[in-house]
Amino acid sequence: MKKIFLLLLVSIFNLSCSSEASSSNTPQEQMYFPPNNGSTTWETKTIANLGWNQNAVQPLLDYLQLKNSKSFMILVNGRIVMENYFNGHTATTLWKWNSAGKTLTTTVTGIAEQEGFINTNHKVSDYLGTGWTSAPLNKENLITCKNLLSMNSGLDDTLGDEVSPSNLKYLVDAGTRWAYHNVYVKLQDVVEQATGQSWNTYFNTKLRDKIGMSSNGFWYIGTGANLGLKIYFSTTRSMARFGLLALNNGTWNGTQIINSNYLNQATTTSQNINLAYGYLWWLNGKTSYHLPQTQLQFNGSLVASAPSDMYCALGKDDQKIYVVPSKKMVVIRMGDAADSANLALSNFDETLWTKISALYQ
């Protein structure tokens, strides 16, 4: 009996030790949010703290330098793990998001919807009036705000970036064709008309200032052949703050900035043509994808070397926001084109993620 009692005590002790060891090996670190007061304070985490491979750092930095990068950041649980600047770029230098900024429009559109100003299921002409395109009225009235978010407006994408009515021509019915098209910027007009505020004012008060993005960021307004085009410029850390908001399902330090259900929809396949596209967000891990300026379907995942749950904001000349929920990770890259000019995805993504994954695999 005494022997059985001793064995029982040993068993309980071992179980307790095993539990403690397991707990210490998988710490549940709290998500960190940098302060919104304009300070440069931002908590960090080292490669060693994470148990990552220090030997993989320099090959990654060498590749980024080689490929015309200006800045690079990795956040894990909101903390900076890597922050590097190249070729004279600094933490205070502003740089263009290009089409990675489409996701800013997605987010502000969602905020306007949650505040009751718009309904993305409604047709665009409910907000802009008829004649915002040169399509026949019955065809124009098929186009909803959600079609603009999903890139399936049915308008002709071959006519350039200008979004004047004369340049927005009917091609097919809305919802029947996916094509990467600058017409999404009309959502900014929808927000202005519905809220009665300028795009800048609504963006700044409802998104930028709520998550502490630097106030010196600005929207470039296109003219001439780029009439209607709006491109955001900011620091790398401002871009990282936006990625951190996305990682946290629209919540910033306990405050819900954008409805999590809407953000989940935005980062889920939005139509049945391009499975790798949500609401202006690109989605990894799907069975096929389409790319800008082509109607071809490519089989396989968008970035095979990256985690399958990754979603990303991709801009011309390799502006990148990668969000990886399974790893609580945000990755930012700003710079010139890695190889040649491109609109979204490039071979750079695949090689870059091979080198990033070498850090933690």
How far apart, in whole angstroms, are the C-alpha atoms of residue 104 and residue 97? 10
At 39 the pLDDT is 85
How far apart, in whole angstroms, are the C-alpha atoms of residue 170 and residue 318? 30
* Closest by Cα among 218, 240, 241, 220 to 229: 220
> Taking 90 as the threshold, does the pLDDT of residue 358 lie above it?
yes
Share of the chain above pLDDT 70, in %: 90
How far apart, in whole angstroms, are the C-alpha atoms of residue 278 and residue 209? 25
Residue 341: pLDDT band (50, 70, 90) is low
Class of residue 339 by CB neighbours under 10 A (exposed 0-12, middle 13-18, buried 19+):
exposed
Amino acid of residue 79: R
The gap from C-alpha 66 to its chain's centroid, in whole angstroms, comes to 24
At 349 the pLDDT is 95
**Strands, DSSP E only, in the chain?**
69-76, 79-85, 95-96, 218-221, 230-234, 251-252, 255-256, 282-283, 288-289, 298-299, 311-315, 319-324, 329-335
Instruction: Give the pLDDT confidence of 34-43 residue by residue, as tens digits.
Output: 999 888 999 9
Give residue for tokens 């308008």: 155
Q: What is the mean pLDDT of the chain?
A: 91
User: Largest Cα–Cα distance of the chain, in whole Å?
Assistant: 93
Instruction: Give the pLDDT confidence of 146-203 residue by residue, as tens digits.
Output: 999 999 999 999 998 889 999 999 999 999 999 999 999 999 999 999 999 999 999 9
**Rounded alpha-carbon distances, angstroms, from residue 353 to 23, 72, 148, 258, 307:** 30, 13, 30, 29, 9
Instruction: Give the pLDDT confidence of 260-312 residue by residue, as tens digits.
Output: 999 999 999 999 999 999 999 999 999 999 999 899 999 999 999 999 999 99
- Going by the DSSP 8-state scheme, the letter that residue 29 receives in this structure is P
In the three-class reduction of DSSP (H, G, I as helix; E, B as strand; rest coil), residue 39 is classed as coil
CA angle 322, 325, 331 (to 5 degrees): 25
Beta pairing partners, 320 = 314, 333
**Rounded alpha-carbon distances, angstroms, from residue 36 to 94, 96, 193, 214, 238:** 18, 22, 29, 9, 11
Instruction: Give the pLDDT confidence of 93-118 residue by residue, as tens digits.
Output: 999 999 999 999 999 999 999 999 99
